[in-house]
Amino acid sequence: MQQLCLQQARVAVIGAGTMGIGIAQLAAMHGHPTQLFDMDVQKSQAALDQLKVQLQKRVAASKMTGQLLEQTFANLSIATDIQALASAQLVVEAIVEKKEVKQALFQQLAELCPADTIFASNTSSISITAIAAAIPHPERVVGLHFFNPAPVMKLVEIIRGLKTSATIAQALFSLMKAWNKVPVTAKSTPGFIVNRVARPYYAEAFRALQENVTSPEQLDFILRECGLFAMGPCELTDLIGQDINFSVTQSVYREFFDEPRYRPSLIQKELVDAGCFGRKSGQGFYDYSQAERQPAYQLPEHVAVSGTELAIQVNGRWSHSAGLLARIQASTKLTVQYDVQEPNAIIIGDVRVCMSLGESVELDYVTDKVVLMDWHADWAQAKALPVVASPACSEADRALVDAFFAAIDMIPIWTKDHAGLYVLRTISMLVNEACEAVLHDISTEQDIDLAMKYGVNYPQGPFQWAEKIGYNTILQILKNMYRIYGEERYRCSIYLSKKAAQERTQSQQELEFRQAG
């Protein structure tokens, strides 16, 4: 494949909004002669003036050298007429999210610029294939999706339309590396990687709220505490803007021909209809009119630890939760027996405590004393964990479970019946969506993991979670949820099923190897 080098390319950025000036800053900082163009010249000048103030503050705080500041502004200029962009080798548009407007811009530029000028769109959701269809030499049209703020966020999605040149995509990949970004490549598809794979993080949260099994503040706490997400889904959508997040979900849903996995939430629609957009409007899931947002979540009180030791039996290997076993072993308040040959369970009296596999305690364990618990991403530091008891469990049974958690210095968050609970349910759906993206050759496992870690700050990528929890565990959770709900949104990806089969084969081979001695 012929190579193309863009390390010295002349860059033009169109659109002087937050994203546009951020991209222009990046290009200029990395030595590219960079022009900023906006139909409103005053907006371009105001953006440049504001950028200078911001960077001068960084210099004053010793976070940037004065030399780099001078170099950046020596490379950065304002184009007052679109004709001035005729010599640009790379044009990046960051204008309004409307296909027809972007097409009209690129058509105009196609009359000014040489046939080998690259037209890159910073769109977050519009089909690159569709944009390119109306442009002469569509092979030069590519998606270059930065995340806001562009100078700070590491991820850049490089999106290939049906006719996008592989040479151009590779050249942009190398260029983004030179700009100290984390580039990933994907085919043009609704939502690309991040805005597609992230949909379940919001959808399952809103489903839990719609089913009235939790509250926004409790749900956010659980996803932060147990899943190690930087922000819970309710506070995150309040920050993004409920109107913006809802609009993206609607767009992905429509573009996928009303695929049930992306169906928008009535909970979120109510907020948008009411003008409760989140932080920017002062009200979303939370009220931001006070010094501290309301409502705030309060953990239940710690149960007092009894002076007598509690006898329990731990069955199974708990390969997905070795840290939990370590806590149990370290406790001086427990007397423990082990049986690794039995299925995973912690037996306390006649109560069986298990990790949820997507069951419903009210449907599956009506007459059995079962407590299902969620998963924690860091058992060593765990403070609390969601749990749910079957109808057969009495108050005395729940008290035994409280005593067990107190003995390992954790607080149980008793919740209503909800298949898969919260962390396991969310992660399972994220993994399933990521598997669908790989199945359809949108991107690779590695790039999807990178995209979710650097684009939305997930603690791990979906495939890293799957390796940790186990593909078969995730598959079983989804199968149970599909059985319980009977909805297509919970159907298992065939790619996930194949990964689970590979995992079973590998486990069997390892077992046979150990038995052979």
> What's the chain's Rg over C-alpha atoms?
26
Could you give the dihedral angle defined by the CA atoms of residues 263, 439, 421 and 284, in that order, rounded to the nearest 10 degrees? -40
Q: Specify the pLDDT at position 512.
A: 62
List, for residues 26-61, the tens digit of each pLDDT value.
Answer: 999 999 999 999 999 999 999 999 999 999 999 999
User: What whole-number distance in Å separates Cα of residue 21 and Cα of residue 26?
Assistant: 9
Q: Could you tell me which of 142, 128, 144, 127 has the C-alpha nearest to residue 184?
A: 144
DSSP code of residue 410: -
Is the model's pLDDT at 97 over the cut of 60? Answer: yes
CATH code for the domain defined by 203-214+216-294+422-517: 1.10.1040.50
Question: 508 falls in which pLDDT band (50, 70, 90)?
Answer: confident
Q: What is the mean pLDDT of residues 124-135?
A: 94
What does each C-alpha distance from 273 to 118, 205, 243, 245 come to in angstroms? 40, 19, 9, 13
Q: Which residues contact 225 (CB under 8 A, 6 or more apart)?
A: 382, 383, 384
Question: 511 falls in which pLDDT band (50, 70, 90)?
Answer: low
H or E segment and range at residue 285: none
- 290 three-class SS: coil
H or E segment and range at residue 365: none
Where are the CATH 1.10.1040.50 domain residues in the chain? 203-214+216-294+422-517
Long-range contacts at 481-487 (CB < 8 A, ≥ 24 apart): 481/358, 481/419, 481/420, 481/425, 481/428, 484/358, 484/359, 484/360, 484/363, 484/419, 485/419, 487/260
Q: Could you tell me which of 262, 197, 256 has the C-alpha nearest to residue 438?
A: 197
Q: Could you tell me which of 163, 108, 96, 111 has the C-alpha nearest to residue 133?
A: 163
Where are the CATH 3.30.750 domain residues in the chain? 310-414
Question: What is the CATH class of 11-188?
Answer: alpha beta
What does each C-alpha distance from 395 to 68, 170, 356, 359, 363 come to in angstroms? 66, 62, 21, 22, 20
Q: Specify the pLDDT at position 506.
A: 85
Contact between 284 and 235 under an 8 Å Cβ cutoff? The reply is no
Q: Specify the pLDDT at position 514.
A: 61
Question: 382 falls in which pLDDT band (50, 70, 90)?
Answer: very high
Q: What is the mean pLDDT of residues 289-300?
A: 93
Is the model's pLDDT at 100 over the cut of 60? Answer: yes
Q: What are the residue numbers of the active site?
A: 124, 145, 157, 195
Q: Specify the pLDDT at position 308.
A: 82
Could you give the dihedral angle defined by the CA atoms of residues 214, 218, 224 and 227, in that order, rounded to the nearest 10 degrees? -30
User: What whole-number distance in Å separates Cα of residue 2 and Cα of residue 23?
Assistant: 27
What does each C-alpha distance from 163 to 131, 136, 159, 178, 370 come to in angstroms? 11, 12, 11, 25, 56
List, for residues 173-191, the tens digit of each pLDDT value.
Answer: 999 999 999 999 999 999 9
List, for residues 452-505, the tens digit of each pLDDT value.
Answer: 999 999 999 999 999 999 999 999 999 999 999 999 999 999 999 999 999 999
Question: 307 falls in which pLDDT band (50, 70, 90)?
Answer: confident
Q: Specify the pLDDT at position 40.
A: 95
Q: Which residues contact 483 (CB under 8 A, 6 or more apart)?
A: none
DSSP code of residue 440: T
Buried b / exposed e along 227-260 (16+ C-beta atoms within 10 A)? bebebbbbbbbbebbbbebbebbbbbbebbeebe
Q: Specify the pLDDT at position 482.
A: 98
Where are the CATH 3.40.50.720 domain residues in the chain? 11-188
Q: Can you give the length of the chain in residues?
A: 517
Mean pLDDT score across all residues of the chain:
95
The three-point CA angle 199-203-208 to 5° equals 155
User: What whole-number distance in Å separates Cα of residue 104 and Cα of residue 162?
Assistant: 20
As given in the structure block, the two tokens for residue 479 are: 């199968």
Is 310-414 a domain of CATH 3.30.750? yes
Please report, rounded to a whole number, the percentage of residues in the chain having pLDDT higher than 70. 98
List, for residues 356-368, the tens digit of each pLDDT value.
Answer: 999 999 999 999 9
